[in-house]
Structure 1
Amino acid sequence: MEDQKAVDEVNSCPPIGRTATLGLQHVLVMYAGAVTVPLIVGGALKLSPEHLAVLINADLLCCGLVSLLQALGIGRWIGIRLPVMMGVSYAGIAPMIAIGLNPEMGLTGLYGSIIAAGLICFLLMPLIIRALPLFPPLVTGTTLLSLGTGLLGVAIAWAGGGYNAPDFGNPFYISIAALVLIVTLLVARFARGFFSSLAVLAGIAAGMLVAILFGKVSLSGIDTVPMVEMVRPFQFGMPTFDPVAIFTMTLVVLITMVESIGLFFSLGEILNHKITREEFTRGLRADALGATIGGIFNAFPYTSYAQNIGLVGITGVRSRYVCAAGGVILILLGLLPKLAHIIATIPQYVLGGAAIAMFGMVAASGVRILQGVDFRHNRHNTLIMAISLGIGMIPTMSPNFFSAFPSYLSPFLQSGVLLTVVTAVVLNVIFNGVHQGLENLPSEPPVAEAVRTLPPAGQTP
């Protein structure tokens, strides 16, 4: 009876004004995470502010499109049809940067690999559903710990002024980064309800304001940027397809699906609705198709956002049409290049303060997941985690460690998260085997509880 009531609430649509307002709230909760990843990737690839603005617009557009895909669905095959918002995952940051920096691949190779990875995962969905037991909390927790720890190096570099900054370590840069971090902590500590979820956004806004007051931010050229502009497919060129890059991004898309599985479980608990195997399959198909859509429109792979699922629990509003309204708002924001141009001018030292908090939380969430793993009675688990984490840290601790290997392997060998997840999966199968399928997973696995606490970053990021 409770399950039927939950389904009715999910399928009901509040009045248009209330639906739009609640949809806007979902957008505000996820906005910082949605724009941070394009800033990270674009900054690492040394894109111009104009090209950064293109990435941001494309990302917002795709966030909206894939959110609509998930909330409303297509036919009987695609979309979980629950209150879900989709955003770009942090799991792909390192491999996407590695592919983009490879002179033989570049952006066209990156987007070709994302398109192909989405299609591969979509076509292989029955096999993927069967393979999900390969990613128990030991694997997902170790992977998130490696991901967050590796990304902290990026955050610290930003806080010092950014990569290759001639005055790296300038006290002004570090002071602004510290201000962003302090404001983020104060808002998270003292704000209540919805406003506490805007802590990261508030910190970035405070840092940006001080940077503007000190004349460190230039908005020159914004007058020439059109107010409204369509996002075009393949704006950076027609995609190219490299086998190693495709394999790398396929692993990334699989990781985003693991994130989504945990979050779908959490959402089911919030809604008092037991999510069926068919719903899981439809939801993961939308994840896979979202990656292909992202690659076509110069964006990224997508996954469910933890903060929006948490917002469903806070507000008690369970209608999927509210998230659909949020998707429409994101699409509209993606058509406003002036806004994207302003966001693209945010200095890296401002982002550095927020990134320390966000990436640190990703690592901390991995620790929380690992708390549910039996290390006391199964000494193999400690060995699996230690070796997987150690191998995953190689690109961060020694970037030139694999420099003598063929360049086409660099997207894989330079990605700590991929090295971690492959090592952890292989060692876990060798030592522990595979014991349970999707239908036997607990209603609230450790990954669901831990991922729910992630900051506005997704996911994942």
Structure 2
Amino acid sequence: MKDTTQASRNTSTAPVDEVLPLTQMFLYGLQHVLVMYAGSVAVPLLVGSAVGLPREHIILLISADLFICGAATIIQSIGIRQWLGCRLPLIQGCTFAALVPMMLIGKQYGLSGISGAVIVSGVFIICCAPWISKMLRFFPKVVMGGIVTLIGLSIMPVAGGWIGGGSSDMQGFGELFSLLMAVITLAIILTIYTFASGVVKNTSVLIGLIIGTVLWGCFRPLDFNLVHASPWFHLPQAFPFATPEFHIVPIAVLSMVMVVVMVETMSTMMAIGDMVGKTVDTKMLRNGLNTCGLGTLICGLFNLFPYASFAQNVGLIGLTGVRSRFVVTASGIILMLMGILAKMAALVVLIPKPVLGGAGIVMFGMVAVSGVRTLGQVNYRNNNNGMVVALTLGIGLMPVVVPNLFNQFPPMMQLFLHSGITIGTLTAIVANLMLNGRVPFKASEALTPDPLPPTAAARSMAVRTVRMWLLLRKVNKEQSQQD
């Protein structure tokens, strides 16, 4: 009786709310951390260097960032009361959208000016979240599918940069050894994903990253300098390096950037909702934005930077098929531990970028696959849906394929135009309204969960067919006995 009750409970639990065994949650959570770590620490590294912080202070800045990032991720996945957390497997981290504006602000106003602008921008997100989240009706399948596909294609250059070894303007970018290690890492991941099963299959990215790093270390020395320079323990402290100062121009610029961040965060939440089979409503969008705003506000108090959702982890969900939000909760706990244990945080920096890039190919590609699947559910007959998708991808990819296209525009406009996800999202909404008219949002337009894989679907059909045949045979036998 107990087993039956437990089985019925597991059957009724949605995949996003499933609690996995602790060992699995740790492994899957660590995999998420390794995927997002490079992007998370890049912003404190670049901004800290731009404002002239010494290396020791930048390390402490990274530790504090990881700790708060973990706390925000836990809140986002678990939820607190009725206004915080979207209760989706959503990873929080420093956004690249505000990187260039913060570096410009830092050069003129210093870290104090950045911190003041970050605090106000966090308040700005919280104030705007209730009405921006009501834009849900502007996201039917044709719009959402185009946006998710655009997200996957737009972040693919990040994987390309990792494969080459960093930035394209650096010396030695794209050398043969880096490309070879990326291919080897990709081959390891694909081999494990294809031939393994269970936990081993779902942690193929984690295993590939570990093996790739070990192989890299056999040919080239890994840089342990950052590990040696890091303290063993470090707790975040408020205003560690500068007291916030509030200036009109930095606040206005960063608040405008936060509009971009909110649009991208909503797109990511809906993409994850599509993958885990959960309809994302207005309340979830509002709670997710509230968490981003609160995390950004707290970061400003610790001389840190604005937070947003990490799109690269969306691809990992699609690749592994692990949809539980509690896995991301485990990621948040790991991030907080890494924030306290500064040397542990520095160890992850050892993963070479080409190795990370090899894994990024499949992860980011899975984001695009999710969008293509959604677009496959759209009706293209006797409507303009095809044109809406064409405009979304065509205009949204312009900043990706031609990065300098909008350099002649004023700096304030460039903040928006250089984000392909932002202009693609706005294009999709406007094009759908103009070409298809104002069609009210219907329940049938809600994003549906992934269908069964072909093999599973065929197996299910075969089982039902055999059961029906056995039932008919039994009925015929009973009738013949009665005759």
| TM range, smaller chain | 0.7 to 0.9
Whole-angstrom distance in 2 between the partners of 1:276 and 1:385: 23
Match of 2:146 in 1: 142
* 1:33 maps to which of 29, 32, 35: 35
Matched residue of 1:372: which SS?
coil
Matched residue of 1:334: which SS?
helix
What pairs up with 1:90-129 in 2 under 5 angstroms? 92-93=95-96, 95-100=97-102, 102=104, 115-129=119-133
Q: Do 2:93 and 2:308's aligned partners in 1 also have CA atoms closer than 8 Å?
A: yes
Q: TM-score, normalised by structure 2?
A: 0.73
What is the Cα deviation at residue 44 of structure 1?
7.3
Q: Does 2:239 match 1:228? A: no
Whole-angstrom distance in 2 between the partners of 1:367 and 1:44: 34
What pairs up with 1:129-168 in 2 under 5 angstroms? 129-163=133-167, 164-168=169-173
Matched residue of 1:301: which SS?
strand
Q: Do 1:79 and 1:285's aligned partners in 2 also have CA atoms closer than 8 Å?
A: yes
Whole-angstrom distance in 2 between the partners of 1:180 and 1:308: 15
Q: Do 2:121 and 2:258's aligned partners in 1 also have CA atoms closer than 8 Å?
A: yes
Q: Does 2:67 match 1:61? A: yes
Whole-angstrom distance in 2 between the partners of 1:146 and 1:358: 14
1:70–1:353: structure 2 CA closer, same or farther, 3 Å change rule?
Answer: closer
What is the Cα deviation at residue 183 of structure 1?
1.3
Whole-angstrom distance in 2 between the partners of 1:313 and 1:165: 36
1:265–1:181: structure 2 CA closer, same or farther, 3 Å change rule?
Answer: closer
* 1:198 maps to which of 198, 203, 213: 203
1:398–1:234: structure 2 CA closer, same or farther, 3 Å change rule?
Answer: farther
Whole-angstrom distance in 2 between the partners of 1:147 and 1:313: 19
Q: Does 2:176 match 1:174? A: no
Deviations 1:334-361 (A, max 9, x none): 2121122222243322222122222222
Structure 1 unaligned spans of 5+: 451-461
What pairs up with 1:292-303 in 2 under 5 angstroms? 292-294=297-299, 296-297=301-302, 298=304, 300-302=307-309
Whole-angstrom distance in 2 between the partners of 1:57 and 1:98: 22
Q: Do 1:118 and 1:289's aligned partners in 2 also have CA atoms closer than 8 Å?
A: yes
What is the Cα deviation at residue 410 of structure 1?
2.3
Aligned length, in residue pairs:
428
Q: Does 2:218 match 1:213? A: yes
Matched residue of 1:351: which SS?
helix
Q: Which moved more, 1:105-114 or 1:134-143?
A: 105-114
Q: Percent identity?
A: 29
Q: Which moved more, 1:196-205 or 1:22-31?
A: 22-31
1:403–1:235: structure 2 CA closer, same or farther, 3 Å change rule?
Answer: farther
Q: Do 1:144 and 1:365's aligned partners in 2 also have CA atoms closer than 8 Å?
A: yes
Q: Do 2:118 and 2:251's aligned partners in 1 also have CA atoms closer than 8 Å?
A: no
Structure 2 unaligned spans of 5+: 1-7, 452-483
Deviations 1:212-249 (A, max 9, x none): 22234221353332111123456675476343442232
Q: Do 1:33 and 1:87's aligned partners in 2 also have CA atoms closer than 8 Å?
A: no
1:116–1:105: structure 2 CA closer, same or farther, 3 Å change rule?
Answer: farther
1:332–1:363: structure 2 CA closer, same or farther, 3 Å change rule?
Answer: same
What is the Cα deviation at residue 159 of structure 1?
1.5
Q: Specify the code of the residue in structure 1 equivalent to 2:37.
A: V
* 1:416 maps to which of 401, 416, 420: 420
Deviations 1:189-216 (A, max 9, x none): 2232233232222222222212222234
Deviations 1:239-264 (A, max 9, x none): 76343442232232233234324545
1:386–1:160: structure 2 CA closer, same or farther, 3 Å change rule?
Answer: same
Whole-angstrom distance in 2 between the partners of 1:359 and 1:72: 25
* 2:388 maps to which of 370, 384, 390: 384
Match of 2:400 in 1: 396
Matched residue of 2:192: which SS?
helix
Whole-angstrom distance in 1 between the partners of 2:140 and 2:154: 21
Whole-angstrom distance in 1 between the partners of 2:444 and 2:62: 37
Q: Does 2:83 match 1:77? A: yes
